[in-house]
Amino acid sequence: MIPSVLPTYNRAPLEFVKGEGAWLIEADGRRFLDLGAGIAVNALGHAHPALVMALTGQAQNLWHVSNLYQIPQQQALADKLVDATFADTVFFTNSGTEACELAVKMARKHFHDKGQPEKVEIITFDGSFHGRSSAGIAAAGSEKMTRGFGPLLPGFVHLSFGDLDGVTNAITDTTAAILIEPVQGEGGIRPVPDAEMKALRQICNENGLLLILDEVQCGVGRTGKLFAHEWAGITPDIMMVAKGIGGGFPLGAVLATEEAASGMTAGTHGSTYGGNPLGCAVGCAVIDHVADPEFLAEVNRKAGLLRQKLEGLVADHPEVFDEVRGTGLMLGIKCKATNIDVVNAGYDNQVITVPAADNVIRLLPPLTLSEDDIAEALTRLDKAALQVEASLASA
């Protein structure tokens, strides 16, 4: 019999009832160190006082009015994002997938309204992830996500990850945009080198294409800059954001330049919930913390510490681990053992990591992780690795 919850997830047998900072707690009091942060979502950790206050304060006044009316919290968050980034304008969504939908629509509408309606194609890359909607799965294009869900939304050209020559060759009169994650998340924590990000910007400029960045996972302080593309010293035309921006409340956004967004006039797009007072009140509190240079400096300091210790862990367990990769607090360990076995051994030792493609385990901890948490993480990951080694030896 089908479970009452549609069985699209293989859930771990863990059930948390409370969160505190980087810790998740089960009903019996067992404490787990959370290096997953709900897949890079709980940027300020669990139950951060500023977020609890923003949410509960707003909840006592007004939850929802719809976008038929002014929403001051939405205006405030849009202003903060415009001040802090390349963007001139912002549309709020409830998820990363919805941000992807709008990014695709915005790019096509831009060219339509410029009198180039033939420009509809968007170049994307293997291993990418842009959400599970029809546009999202068509954009990513992997067999795993698309099989059985045809006919797929047309207009995506898929290239190998890192194939810059392929990009130049793939551009035609119908190309509208390049869509890429500056650091692939689901694909296994694969950063696009700064030089390649610069080259993609250059290619877009030379060919009159829009550069769309998917910073749903790598954005909002995760890499040690407010947004990951800042490391390469470039800016996109359109950017998708979600996950960390709500700190655990469902919130996403599309940020764009005035030029890229020029086709999106009244009536061309909408969302009943997008940009609601609750989500935007929380988003304002998240951005107030994360956009602070001192906060980002701390992220970079702790990222350096964590990375150095992880390099040691990998060296200590060469049968389990292969290498550390990633940037900031968006780290991956490529495994030699099966990544799921390492994640499960982590559960046994009360430390949470997240599997990704390419046999990687992801470490996406709260950006507020303390030095004590880092020390504890290493102790627990070391125990997990010893457990995997023991099972390899007995196999």
Ligand X SMILES: *Cc1c(COP(=O)(O)O)cnc(C)c1O
- Interface ranges with ligand X (CB under 6 A): 95-97, 100, 129-131, 181, 185-186, 214, 216-217, 242-243
Nearer to ligand X, 42 or 217 (CB): 217
DSSP secondary structure of 79-145: HHHHHHSS-SEEEEESSHHHHHHHHHHHHHHHHHHTT-TT--EEEEETT----SSHHHHHHH--HHH
In the bound state with ligand X, the residue whose beta carbon lies nearer, of 133 and 262, is 133
Contacts of the segment 272-276: beta carbons below 8 A, 24+ positions apart: 272/66, 272/67, 273/64, 273/94, 274/67, 274/91, 274/92, 274/93, 274/94, 274/98, 275/67, 275/71, 275/74, 275/77, 275/91, 275/92, 276/63, 276/64, 276/65, 276/71, 276/74
Q: How far is the CB of 269 from ligand X (least distance, A)?
A: 17
Binding residue per annotation — 134? no
The reply to whether 73 sits in an annotated binding site is no
Identify which of residues 85 and 97 has a Cβ nearer to ligand X in the complex: 97
Say if residues 34 and 24 touch (Cβ distance below 8 Å): yes
387 annotated ligand-binding residue: no
C-beta nearest to ligand X: residue: 96
Q: Which residue, 34 or 181, has its beta carbon nearer to ligand X?
A: 181
Was 124 annotated as part of a binding site? no
Q: Which amino acid is at 290?
A: V
DSSP state of 376: H
Q: How far apart are CA 252 and CA 152, in angstroms?
A: 24
The answer to whether 97 is a known ligand-binding residue is: yes
Q: 131 vs 332, which CB is nearer to ligand X?
A: 131
Residue 312 Cβ, how far from ligand X at the closest point, in Å? 28
Closest distance to ligand X from the beta carbon of 215 (Å): 8
Q: Cα separation of 106 and 176, whole Å?
A: 10
118 known ligand binder: no
Q: What share of the chain is helix, strand, coil (3-state, %, to 5)?
A: 40, 20, 40
Tell me the closest approach of the beta carbon of residue 150 to ligand X, in angstroms.
21
Complex with ligand X: residue 216 or 345, whichever CB lies closer: 216
Q: Is 93 annotated as a binding residue?
A: no
Query: What is the nearest approach in angstroms of ligand X to the Cβ of residue 155?
Result: 18
Smallest gap, in angstroms, from Cβ of residue 91 to ligand X?
Answer: 15
CA-based nearest residue to 259, from 236, 226, 241, 232: 236
- Peptide bond before 277: cis, by omega within 30 degrees of 0? no
Beta strands (DSSP E) in 279-370 are: 321-327, 330-335, 351-352, 354-356, 360-363
* Residue 301 marked in a binding site: no
- Distance in Å, CB of 370 to ligand X, minimum: 25
Number of Cβ within a 10 Å radius of residue 193? 11
| Closer of 45 and 246 to ligand X (Cβ) | 246
**Closer Cβ to ligand X, 186 or 237, answer by number:** 186
Q: Is 163 annotated as a binding residue?
A: no
**Checking phi first, is residue 123 left (phi over 0); if not, alpha (psi -120 to 50) or beta?**
beta
Q: Say if residue 215 carries a ligand binding annotation.
A: yes
Residue 96: CB minimum distance to ligand X, A: 2
Which residues line the annotated binding site for pyridoxal 5'-phosphate?
96-97, 129, 214-217, 272
Which residues line the annotated binding site for N(2)-acetyl-L-ornithine?
132, 271
Which residues line the annotated binding site?
96-97, 129, 132, 214-217, 271-272
